[in-house]
Structure 1
Amino acid sequence: MIELETLPDHGLARDFPLVRRRRMTGLAGGTTVAAVASGRQMTPLVRSGIVRGDLRRSFGTATGVARGVPLDIRLRLTSANSGRPLTGYAVYLWHCDRDGNYSLYGEGLERENYLRGVQAADTAGWVRFSSIFPGAHQGRWPHLNIEVYPSLTGRDLLHRSRLALPGDAAEKVFATDGYRGPLDPATMRMPLEMACVTGDVRRGMVATRTLGI
């Protein structure tokens, strides 16, 4: 039987309690991860370090840095009914590193928490993260994991999805040093939703997607 704690795709509700059990605190202003996990107010969440745009470095007491081809992630949240931007809605985004391993869960990465973070949508519904292009994890095509909440303090999960990254972009990235290739779409599980990716491996890539909630 697989222990749930070893699974990297359960989202924010499991990740924060795991951080708490491992005492990865060191939060600003005396804030504890226990307070953050309770979701009672906005300030502890912001002080925790998880609300951030740059996901490449770990937060709190963790010090690791994820290396790889730069990926600028831009997501727009809109109402599925009206098409209007969902200002203030919060996105929790996480993905594996270039080796296909997740912080908090991968072997040797239990004390790291990079490549995961939260952002609130601006007035136009956009959230933006600076990250790296992910590797392939256990037979899954390179993808981004996303959860959407009504606000930085909202506990109700409104939307959850995995966004695949296009094959042409993935092939270019996996041909660079540090990535494990080649990729085989015929043998890998691919999410139904796909992001649009532009750019190149030298200057970095940009992934965009509109999410109707």
Structure 2
Amino acid sequence: MLELGTRRDGGLANDFTLVRRRRMMGLTRGITVSTLGAEAGPIARSGIVRGDIRRGFGTANGVARGVPLDIRVRLTSANSGRPLVGQAVYLWHCDPDGNYSLHSPGLENENYLRGVQVADSAGWVRFTSVFPGSHEGAWPRLHVEVYPSVALGEASPLHAAEILLPSDACAKASGTASFEGHPGAAVEMACVTGDVRRGLVATRTVTI
């Protein structure tokens, strides 16, 4: 099973509150904070719905640099095993130095390495990112929340999880002979393939 319950922050609800409070969305065409989240259009124009999460969105212009990481998450039904289509995934993680945009000191006005994608006809979402580091000694991981659709509104996540990355991939990305972080209680991790030069690929199925 995926490890739960040790998320670095409160997820999309908490993060979006910070983004709005800090006036980082740069909304145009009459879109206001009050309409954001009411339908798919305003959400998309906020900038948070994107596949490449290395750069900030809205008024944030920071860029996260590091070993390229292609993240592929597949959503499937726990009852039927079939792919879940049209559900929205909010994914975020720390940078290679172990710091989180929006939350870590000095990065309060940055919002990179976080974004939303919608599951395709096969249940897949894909993000272009960089390999995360270790935050406060924790094993490098990806945080995900799954919502019914991109029209998030006031919806609560259907599922929240953390996807850990295997030690050999962490060692490659960090350039060390071994990785000595603490994986926690998870017994399953993402499958990571590829190499540092051409980029790594992390794949994981999330069952809901």
Amino acid at match of 1:116: R
Percentage identity across aligned positions?
65
Q: Whose relative contact order is higher, 1 or 2, with alpha carbons under 8 Å and at least 6 apart?
A: 2
Amino acid at match of 2:193: T
Deviation at 1:26, TM superposition (A): 1.1
Aligned equivalents of 1:32, 1:23: Cα separation in 2: 11
Give the corresponding residue for 1:200: 195
Give the corresponding residue for 1:4: none
Runs of 4+ with >2 A deviation: 27-36
Deviation at 1:139, TM superposition (A): 1.7
How big is the alpha-carbon RMSD for the aligned residues of Structure 1 and Structure 2?
Answer: 1.7
Give the corresponding residue for 2:139: 141
Aligned equivalents of 2:61, 2:140: Cα separation in 1: 25
Corresponding pairs, count: 199
Give the corresponding residue for 1:41: 39
Q: What SS is found at the alignment partner of 1:13?
A: helix
Query: Is contact 1:162-1:191 (8 Å) kept?
Result: no
Aligned equivalents of 2:185, 2:201: Cα separation in 1: 19
Query: Is contact 1:88-1:120 (8 Å) kept?
Result: yes
Name structure 2 gaps, 5 residues minimum. Answer: 1-6
151-160 or 112-121, which deviates more = 151-160
Query: Is contact 1:148-1:159 (8 Å) kept?
Result: yes
Give the corresponding residue for 1:10: 10
Aligned equivalents of 1:209, 1:170: Cα separation in 2: 16
Give the corresponding residue for 1:3: none
1:120-165 superposed Cα distances (whole Å, 9 cap, x missing partner): 0000100000000000001210000000011111413111011110
Aligned equivalents of 2:178, 2:101: Cα separation in 1: 23
Amino acid at match of 2:78: A
Name structure 1 gaps, 5 residues minimum. Answer: 1-6
Deviation at 1:29, TM superposition (A): 2.4
Deviation at 1:182, TM superposition (A): 6.3
Higher helix share: 1
Give the corresponding residue for 1:85: 83
Alpha-carbon spacing, 1:34–1:57, altered in 2? closer, same or farther (3 Å): farther
Q: 1:129 aligns with which of 127, 130, 135?
A: 127
